[in-house]
């Protein structure tokens, strides 16, 4: 395992490489998490030094909105710009077909909305997040409406999950930007991620899930052997 310090430097390296894909005039989706934060900082620096111009960002969470605003980055919304040229976002686990588990930061719903509105979805990760099969390293986050959430928990258990209610640092249930709960669902390695996604999507009260299938267009990975860029 890499040290925390090297994981951070890999995250930064992947993030800064992805910023090279941004061109002046683009509408750019801004993901959520520690890796994406490096990209937001680099993008803000390039706007400040004039090497990029007229870029507007669509933040995927209140946290990213606050960071971008603090850096003076111009922001917009999907209401004003319903098509995003390129989004940069992190992930928690990446399978060989570039399908993902996301939602470790709890922003999965807005991240998926922005990803589906994006022409290019550039995922940036440090190498330990690569996995032979989704579910091997990370549970599937499922965002549920607080109304009736225990019924959703039983439903998820009936699908084979060990369910944990995500907690905030103060020990209270974590709330998403939409005021929903997150149930972290350990299904073990997934043999039919698409089938599971379909079951989750057919259940009322499930607002979003962290399986991002067929959304990644580019993957940038940084690790001890350098940076690689894969295109799907
Ligand atoms: O999906 C996410 C937030 O909902 C993040 O992109 C994911 O959790 C990765 O986070 P980090 O870059 O901090 O490792």
Q: What's the 33 CA to ligand 1 centre distance in angstroms?
A: 4
CB 92 within 8 A of CB 126: no
- Is 143 assigned a catalytic role? no
Cα 70 to ligand 1 centroid, rounded to whole Å: 20
Which is the catalytic residue, given 16, 93, 111, 143? Answer: 111
Are 155 and 163 in contact by the 8 Å Cβ rule? The answer is no
Q: What is the pLDDT along the chain (232 residues), one digit of tens a residue?
A: 456 778 899 999 999 999 999 999 999 999 999 999 999 999 999 999 999 999 999 999 999 999 999 999 999 999 999 999 999 999 999 999 999 999 999 999 999 999 999 999 999 999 999 999 999 999 999 999 999 999 999 999 999 999 999 999 999 999 999 999 999 999 999 999 999 999 999 999 999 999 999 999 999 999 999 999 999 9
Predicted TM-score (pTM) of the model is 0.96
Dist. CA 209–CA 221, nearest whole Å: 23
**Atom number in ligand 1 closest to CA 102:** 1
Q: Name the 3-class secondary structure at 86.
A: strand
Give residue 148's region: left, alpha or beta (phi > 0; psi -120 to 50): left
- Do 84 and 117 form a contact (C-beta atoms < 8 A)? yes
CA-107 nearest atom, ligand 1:
4
Our CA dihedral for 33, 35, 40, 45, rounded to 10 degrees, sits at 150
| Pocket residues: Cβ below 6 A from ligand 1 | 31-36, 89-92, 102-108, 111
Residue 210 assigned ligand-binding role = no
CA–centroid distance, residue 52 to ligand 1 (Å): 25
What is the number of residues in the chain?
Answer: 232
Residues 6+ apart with CB under 8 A from 70: none
Q: Which atom of ligand 1 sits closest to the CA of residue 210?
A: 1
- CATH fold label, 4-129+213-223: Rossmann fold (3.40.50)
This model of the complex carries an ipTM of 0.99
Please give the CATH architecture assigned to the domain spanning 140-206: 2-Layer Sandwich (3.30)
Q: Could you state, in order of their start, the residue ranges of all structural domains in the chain? A: 4-129+213-223, 140-206
Q: Is 195 annotated as a binding residue?
A: no
State in Å, rounded, how far the first CA of the chain is from the last one: 27
């Amino acid at each position: 395992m890499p040290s925390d310090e090297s994981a951070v430097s890999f995250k930064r390296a992947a993030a800064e490489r992805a910023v090279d894909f941004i061109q002046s005039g683009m509408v750019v989706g801004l993901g959520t998490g520690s890796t994406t934060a490096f990209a937001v900082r680099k993008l803000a620096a390039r706007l400040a030094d004039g090497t990029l111009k007229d870029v507007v960002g669509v933040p995927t969470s209140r946290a990213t909105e606050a960071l971008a605003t603090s850096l003076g980055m111009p922001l917009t919304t999907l209401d004003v710009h319903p098509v995003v040229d390129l989004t940069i976002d992190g992930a928690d686990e990446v399978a060989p077909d570039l399908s993902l588990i996301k939602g470790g930061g709890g922003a999965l719903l807005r991240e998926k909305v922005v990803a589906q509105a994006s022409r290019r979805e550039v995922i940036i990760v440090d190498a330990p997040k690569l996995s032979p099969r989704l579910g091997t390293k990370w549970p599937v986050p499922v965002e549920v409406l607080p109304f009736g959430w225990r019924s959703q928990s039983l439903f998820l258990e009936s699908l084979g999950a060990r369910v944990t209610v995500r907690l905030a640092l103060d020990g209270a249930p974590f709330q998403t930007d939409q005021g929903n709960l997150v149930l972290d669902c350990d299904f073990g390695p997934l043999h039919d991620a698409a089938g599971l996604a379909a079951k989750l999507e057919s259940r009322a009260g499930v607002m979003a899930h962290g399986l991002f299938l067929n959304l990644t267009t580019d993957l940038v990975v940084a690790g001890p052997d350098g940076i690689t860029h894969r295109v799907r």
